[in-house]
Amino acid sequence: MNPVANNADLIEVERRAFFATSNPMHVWAAFRLARVVNADIPPWVMSYLDLASKRLLALASDIVQDGTADNTFVKDLAAAFFFKGAHPTNYHSEWITYGMNVRHLMQQGDKETFAIDAVAEHFGVSASTVRGAYKQYDRLYPGEDILPQDVVSKISPE
């Protein structure tokens, strides 16, 4: 018995159930089935994931703007997606912004301490917050480039 072919039938069952009921759990089941047997993710699953990711990021942004980040639903949603530590609405965390700004000022000649103080003052946060953010940024994106994608693009695959 070919497990990929067998799962293709199960994935089709999930597809039909999803389009009949609009219950997204069928999409997730199909995604999981495909991953278990190393099959291609069906286009209809990818379309759903594209739309869901767009909506999830928009929801996180709206929650931050509305100040409803302590909502029980949000915490339950976060747990379902294995968010640990930082709140899931912190995807666009300030640490990236702070780190980029500190590095930019340092490239323009500021010493690290002065750059951190300037960024803290600009954003209205403590210098220790910016210092911690910059240290994390510098650890993840070492070097002189300001943008994370520029740092990553220079790292050769092993």
93: left (phi over 0), alpha (psi -120 to 50) or beta: beta
Other beta carbons less than 10 A from residue 120's beta carbon? 20
Residue with the larger pLDDT of the pair 78 and 90? 78
What pLDDT is recorded for position 128?
95
Instruction: Give CA torsion, residues 64, 129, 153, 111, to 10 deg.
Output: 140
Domain ranges of the chain: 1-41, 94-154
Percent of all residues in the chain with a pLDDT value above 70, rounded to a whole number: 69
Give CA angle at 150 (144, 126), nearest 5°. 60
Span 23-53, pLDDT tens digits: 788 898 899 999 998 999 999 999 999 988 8
CB neighbours of 86 closer than 8 A, spacing ≥ 6?
A: 93
Span 4-30, pLDDT tens digits: 556 778 888 888 888 877 878 889 889
